[in-house]
Structure 1
Amino acid sequence: MTNAIHWPEWVPVAGHQLRVSGVHFDTLRIQGVRGEQVAARLVAEADGDAGPVICEATGFRWMYFLVAPGTAKDHTWPLGVQRFGTPRTVTYIGVPALAGNTWPLLWYSEPTPTAPYVAPAHLLAVLDLVSPSAS
């Protein structure tokens, strides 16, 4: 994980807070092992600078990939990928602080000045390589 000093205004100073997807970012959510595999490959291919990916450490172990606002709708996402950030629905995403106790949310990959968001095209390419049966 890259620990560059970059604190977007939508990231809380402490703990975690809910943010509306579609305002500061759009969100793509993938469950369990498949989400973890996609995140690991995305980060590895980006040399640790993949953009913001949030991990929910309990329950279904969701991975949340934050892309630039308005960009999630520009792509056709495969089965198993949930998209949030459409004007028709309001979805709140838990965003952890960059430091301190944020359980059960944590940063798998932090936003940085060079990668403030996950690149949707790169995420799609990685999704093509990770089998949906892995979840």
Structure 2
Amino acid sequence: MTMTNAIHRPDWIPASGHQLRLAGVYFDAVRIEGVRGEVVAERIIEAADGDAGPVVCEAAGFRWMYFLLAPGEVRNHSWPLGVQRFGSRGDRALTYIGIPALDGNTWPLRWYSEPTPTTPYVRAAQLRAVLISSRRTMT
């Protein structure tokens, strides 16, 4: 049995299947819908040479992309329209984000980019820069 990335599994990632985790505790999240989310994910992964940090893809419905930031980061930046933010401690509503295991059956969720020891979270400033530049090229 190989232990590829299981060694680097943060404690908020389930061992199997998927589980809900409260945004603002283990991570903050930025959510982007469908094709726009996929384009942003591809660009941030390319800009980071494949080590962009954790991005979760929802395979059904609106095909949301969840970019997981360090706790507290979402409120430190202004975000463009069409981007949903979760995790600010001042929010009145609690938001749970589905987190898949690193392997096995996790449908309808999957990792688009996994957390690594060097990039445990998506860098908020880099995500924001990609969002701003992609908004100019997608319109």
| Alignment TM class, shorter chain as reference | over 0.9
Task: Kindly indicate whether the alpha-carbon contact (under 8 Å) linking 1:34 and 1:132 is maintained by their aligned counterparts in 2.
Answer: no
Distance 2:55 2:100 in 1: 11
| Contact 1:11/1:95 (<8 A) preserved | yes
Per-residue CA deviations over 1:45-75 (Å, capped at 9, x if unaligned) read 1111000000001100000000000010000
- Does 2:116 match 1:118? no
User: Under a length normalisation based on structure 2, what TM-score does the superposition of the two structures give?
Assistant: 0.91
Output the TM-score relative to the length of structure 1.
Answer: 0.94
> Whose Rg is larger?
2
Alignment match, 2:32:
30
**Structure 1: gaps of 5 or more residues:** none
Root-mean-square deviation (Å): 1.8
Is 1:20 the counterpart of 2:22? The answer is yes
Structure 2: runs of 5+ lacking an equivalent? none
State, as a whole percentage, how many aligned pairs show the same letter. 66
Report the CA distance between 1:134 and its aligned residue: 4.4
State which of 6, 9, 21 in structure 2 corresponds to 1:7: 9
Query: How many matched pairs?
Result: 134
| Equivalent residue number for residue 130 of structure 1 | 134
Tell me which residue corresponds to 1:72. 74
